[in-house]
A and B are shown apart, each in its own frame.
Chain A
Amino acid sequence: MTIQILMPALSPTMTEGNLAKWLKAEGDTVESGDVIAEIETDKATMEVEAVDEGVIGKILIEAGTENVAVNAPIAILLEEGESASDIDANASTAAPTPQAEETATETAVSTSSDTASQPPKQQEGAHVKNRDVLYAQGAVIEPPVFDEEPFMASTETQTVRVALRDAMAEEMRGDDDIYMLGEEIAEYNGAYKVTEGMLDEFGSRRVIDTPITEHGFAGLAVGSAMNGLKPIVEFMTFNFAMQAIDHIINSAAKTLYMAGGQLGCPIVFRGPNGSASRVGAQHSQCYASWYAHVPGLKVVSPWNAADAKGLLKAAIRDPNPVVFLENELMYGQSFEVPTDPDYVIPIGRAKIEREGSDVTIVALSIMVGRALEAAEKLAEQGIDAEVINLRTVRPLDRHTILESVKKTNRIVSCEEGFPFAGIGAEIAALIGEHAFDYLDAPLKRIAAADVPLPYAAGLEKLAIPQTEQIIHAAKEVCYAD
């Protein structure tokens, strides 16, 4: 029986890759551990090692082939006593891969849903003096003025990853005080390749690889910000920022107030947040509500590439400490991004991604895509959902949420974090305090299961909110079941 060599997954989120190079030819003998090929993804280049011993009988995927699905057979290995004639004619048929299916649903969510209809009507916003003072007092005020439409006239297709990098590079070109530091961001080009090429362009003075020492380098960055610099701190994931949370909160967020307004801390803490794919409880937490709890911080969480670009530029320009929560599963997804370098999305302003009249679905980060997908399916069932992309978690654009609920009279919140004291709980409080009389049904919160995230594929899927749950919740608040 011949052995199929399959396209390996090099990371938990990899669904396909390029077969860059074969290091063995048909007829070559391989021993286990031999490097037989090189594979590239958008994050990395890795070597494929043989697991079994034998002779390469047939190469099924030529070198240079792009987008080879994980688990697709790439070669046939002959064991002792076998010859090329033993190769099963069916061997090259790839087994369907569950991961590939998942990406299909993930990428199917794009802004294309709006093509037929008019773009959603966004409120103009308002110029408000002392906005932050009013926020601190709990006032509901119109979001900052921003007209996104003109920027969409000229766009290019970019992944979230590239949009983030471009945002940083563009800002760094214009301001020498901006520098970045973190683990593997320079020579390795970023653990998730978000900082690819930054070292080449800006050099090791401004793009700095740190030791694995989150508490120390976060504190160092805060000190440098107090002394006039504008650091961008990358956490390989926000799970590791738990080591550094004292400096984020006690040293960065509280300083301006404790100094009576005299000394600020312009700094961005960024990195992937929330779950990736089967990396277990310690690598899979959403910290949105943790940081959103703290006065003195701004907390931003982009969904698509345009959000990533426009919000990261805003975060870097902001004179306050900003926690910027990305999502690993979104890094490789492509969207249209305005080419105008002045596309800077004001922090504190949500975006209505899809206008609707029957129910409001409020979501952040990766959940925005699932909410839009849910809205499409709800439309097929005659329910017209409005989808709000929060973009900023703190200060929350309470005005946009309330105006929407006053129109639809029903609301579902979606987040990837735990339910208790989560973003949905805050939205529930907001509605209870300011729109109680407008509600036609009790609100629903969609959040992660209230358990540490399990590793097992089936359990993990159950724990993380899926589109079906959003659809179900929306129908419930519409009494449509």
Chain B
Amino acid sequence: MASTKKKTKKSNATKTISNSNPEPTLDDMKKLYEEMLLIRRFEEKAGQLYGMGLIGGFCHLYIGQEAVVTGIQSVQEEGDTVVTTYRDHAHMLAQGMTPEGVMAELTGREGGYSRGKGGSMHMFSQEKGFFGGHGIVGASTSIGTGLGFAHQYRNDGGVAVAYMGDGSANQGQVAECYNMAALWKLPVLYVIENNQYGMGTSTARHAAGQLYARGQGYGIPGEQIDGMDVFSVQNAARQALDYVRTGNGPYILEVMTYRFRGHSMSDPANYRTKEEVDGKKNEDPIIQLRNVMMDQHNVKEEDLKSIDKEIKARVKKAAEFAENSPELAPEELYTDVLIEVE
């Protein structure tokens, strides 16, 4: 297992859930490694294209947080739905959307998931069960609760995974949704990606109490887990999803993570010390997994290098696609406002 020790806190401990997590095989580990690395390299490339002026506006990178989405989405089931905030590139990749389509949306081109009309913060794929990409902090929680409502209404066995950040957790609508989801036992897994800063304001300055425990008054169990260790995320998510899927109502996972970059590309992140950031980099989720594979499973440096090479090639291909895809024709300015009725 991973090298860091487990740091798990729970609220509503009476709601115990099954404790059977399978030991990951080496193949499982390689898959997780590839997915995290794809996100890392994708985001690095996005940062680079931003610097070159090919990506505009806001661009919020996920570097450092890879284990969160990778761990959770690795244990979802077909038909589950996902919604998140504006730091969304990784969620789309983990949901099986193509790097080409996501990157081309970042460059605002026709080949992007929203044909260039949405941008970094607004992408969707009904086919892959991904419902945005929302630029309004807190909105993903309500929309995710509605996704869960639809699963329950249709009785299709699906679960909605609604991501928010530590900043979103303070929005009033989050409390409103906890109430309704608990009242109606909606199949929603709320994931709070606590990267410890709501933009430039640390949790110590913006959040009273513990975020995972905020469901307590509604009877929603919550748990705080280590988000730098993909296995810890995976195990907690597996059990939480099982709890939600079997009709018990919502569950809150607060995943402690850290972004190695600023809030967005235009944020110099002066509110954090170099020492703090460097200290967190020692917990890099990708390096942690890499060490486990090398130390405990005799994986060789060359094996990992070949994975790296393959991922780099995929990202390069996506970037080329995104640079070469054309912008939409001017007359498309007026399309997609409404669905034609006649």
Q: Which residues of A contact B (CB under 8 A)?
A: 127-133, 136-137, 144, 179, 205, 210-211, 213, 215-229, 246-247, 250-251, 255-264, 295-296, 298, 318-320, 347
Contact = CB atoms under 8 A, between A and B. Distances in A.
Contacts of B179: 211, 213, 216
Interface stretch (B169-177, B192-200, B231-239, B252-260): B169-177
B338 interface: yes
A263 B126 contact: yes
Interface stretch (B130-138, B278-286, B298-306): B130-138
Contacts of A295: 337
Given A211-B179, A319-B339, A226 B147 contact: yes
Interface stretch (B117-125, B265-273, B310-318): B117-125
B131 A227 contact: yes
Contacts of B150: 223-224, 227-229
B143 A219 contact: yes
B10 to A, nearest CB: 26
Contact of B340 (A130, A210, A228): A130
Given A219-B146, A263-B131, A298-B338, 12 more contacts: A132-B338, A132-B339, A213-B179, A215-B173, A216-B176, A219-B145, A223-B144, A225-B146, A229-B153, A250-B134, A260-B117, A263-B124
Nearest to B172: A215
B143 A222 contact: yes
A443 B135 CA distance: 42
B73 interface: no
Nearest to A297: B338
A347 B150 CA distance: 27
Nearest to B135: A250
Contact of B336 (A226, A260, A347): A260
A260 B143 contact: no
8 contacts: A222-B146, A223-B148, A223-B149, A227-B131, A251-B142, A255-B132, A256-B339, A260-B117
Contacts of A215: 142, 172-173, 176
B342 to A, nearest CB: 6
Interface stretch (B31-39, B108-116, B204-212): B108-116
Residue with the greatest number of chain B CB neighbours at <10 A, chosen from A127, A226, A264: A226
Given A132-B338, A223-B131, A229-B150, A217 B143 contact: no
B139 A259 contact: no
A319 B146 contact: no
A296 B339 CA distance: 9
Contacts of A132: 337-340
- Secondary structure class of chain B's binding surface, majority of residues: mixed
Interface string B142-164: 11111111110110000010000
Interface in B327-342: 334-342
Contacts of A217: 176, 180
A27 B272 CA distance: 82
A133 B342 CA distance: 12
B294 interface: no
A211 B337 contact: no
A41 B133 CA distance: 48
B26 interface: no
B132 A216 contact: no
B340 A226 contact: no
B154 A228 contact: yes
A223 B143 CA distance: 4
Nearest to B155: A205
Contact of A262 (B113, B142, B147, B172): B113
Contact of A256 (B81, B148, B173, B337): B337
B269 to A, nearest CB: 27
Contacts of A223: 83, 131, 142-150, 160
Given A205-B153, A260-B112, A320 B338 contact: yes
